[in-house]
Amino acid sequence: MKAVVMRDGALAVSELPDPSAEGWAVVEVKAAGVCGSELHFLDGMIPPPFADFVLGHEIAGVVRSAPEGAAVAPGDRVAVYNFVGCGDCHWCRTGHESICTDPQGQLGWSRNGGYAEQVAAPASNLLKLADNVSFETAAVLSCSGMTAVHAARLADVQLGQTAIVDGVGGVGLMVIQVLAAAGLKVIAVADSDAKAPLALESGASDVIVLDGAEAYESLPERVRELTGAGADHFFELVGTEATMRAGIRSLGRRGTAVLIGYTEDELKIHPIDLILSEARIVSSVAASRHDLQTALDLAAEGKLSVAIDTAYPLDEAETALARLRAREVRGRNVLVP
Ligand SMILES: [Zn+2]
Ligand SMILES: [Zn+2]
């Protein structure tokens, strides 16, 4: 099969043997999302696990083969959940494979992923798609969409509450949609006026534009102008010290800060900033299979959508990633093998 592999720190289009994994299903890839994480591989921040490693952790396609007794069959349209847990630890047994204590790998991170004509995955990782959910949408929901659902669940959001979403990139726009669908009032924080319309289209009721660390000092006051008592939740996708601190200070009583995005910055805050309002900080990484199922269901109901910028063939993976790096992509690029 044709695949895009990491070779000597760069991308190469190559012929690989078709995947076969004992007891696993094989999926014909129809769309694979191009995510910022792939740039980390190219930049050497994340070393590839082996030579000729196939990138791509946001995958959707058609089942080509499935083991006996699987819930999916050849021909089924599916999204691929990319975590492979041990299946046996407390977290796997309670449906939280993404925090498995003995993970068996992750497609597109430590096992071959979806920048290829085919990918192997455990059959139980394949979630069937409704007819009205496209492969492109399903692929992107398999990363940012499920992450947004997971973060909202961890924050325990409730109807009528107010949330700040700091950062309106791929994940931020998904978080806005999920929170709006859950009945929250959403205040988005963007770094430029140009991004405000996207946040509003995604369901934010207000957009605060803040450019740079100093501007964030005004966030608690701006939020109180809009909410009175402060926000119930702060979803952090930016992750600098200034943004995290400003977000926590924008919370009302018993508010929750949810850390998703991060940089090299440390979070430094005086405990009194948390104690007096009984605020809490929770953190969120990726998502469970159940969260992906919810994201797919929301998409089928028209409550979650994905803006696809451009669909590229495998040969043009380099272009897709170069445009992402240049911040030219509106929504997401996908590869369509
Ligand atoms: Zn991703
Ligand atoms: Zn496990």
**118 Cα to the center of ligand 2, angstroms:** 26
CA-to-CA distance for 174 and 151, rounded, in angstroms? 11
* Per-residue pLDDT reduced to its tens digit, 231-273: 999 999 999 999 999 999 999 999 999 999 988 899 999 999 9
CA-to-CA distance for 29 and 20, rounded, in angstroms? 14
Q: Which residues contact 99 (CB under 8 A, 6 or more apart)?
A: 91, 285
Three-state secondary structure call for residue 199: helix
pLDDT confidence bin for 284, thresholds 50/70/90: very high
Instruction: Tell me the average pLDDT across 154-173.
Output: 95
**84 Cα to the center of ligand 2, angstroms:** 8
* Per-residue pLDDT reduced to its tens digit, 88-130: 999 999 999 999 999 999 999 999 999 999 999 999 999 999 9
pLDDT at residue 290 greater than cutoff 90: yes
**35 Cα to the center of ligand 1, angstroms:** 4
**98 Cα to the center of ligand 2, angstroms:** 8
**22 Cα to the center of ligand 2, angstroms:** 19
Q: What is the pLDDT of residue 330?
A: 81
- The beta strand positions in 111-171, using DSSP E, are 118-121, 126-128, 162-166
pLDDT confidence bin for 188, thresholds 50/70/90: very high
* Per-residue pLDDT reduced to its tens digit, 21-51: 789 999 999 999 999 889 989 999 889 999 9
Q: What is the pLDDT of residue 329?
A: 85
3-state helix, strand, coil in the chain (%, to 5): 35, 25, 40
**200 Cα to the center of ligand 1, angstroms:** 23
Instruction: Tell me the average pLDDT across 6-11.
Output: 92
Q: For residue 47, give the DSSP letter.
A: -
CA-to-CA distance for 33 and 22, rounded, in angstroms? 26
**Residue ranges with CB less than 5 Å from ion ligand 1:** 35, 143
Proximal ligand: closest to the CA of 92? 2
Q: What is the pLDDT of residue 267?
A: 93
Rg of the chain over Cα atoms, rounded to whole angstroms, equals: 20
**46 Cα to the center of ligand 1, angstroms:** 14
Q: What would the two tokens of residue 129 be? A: 């798609």
Instruction: Measure CA 217 to chain center.
Output: 28
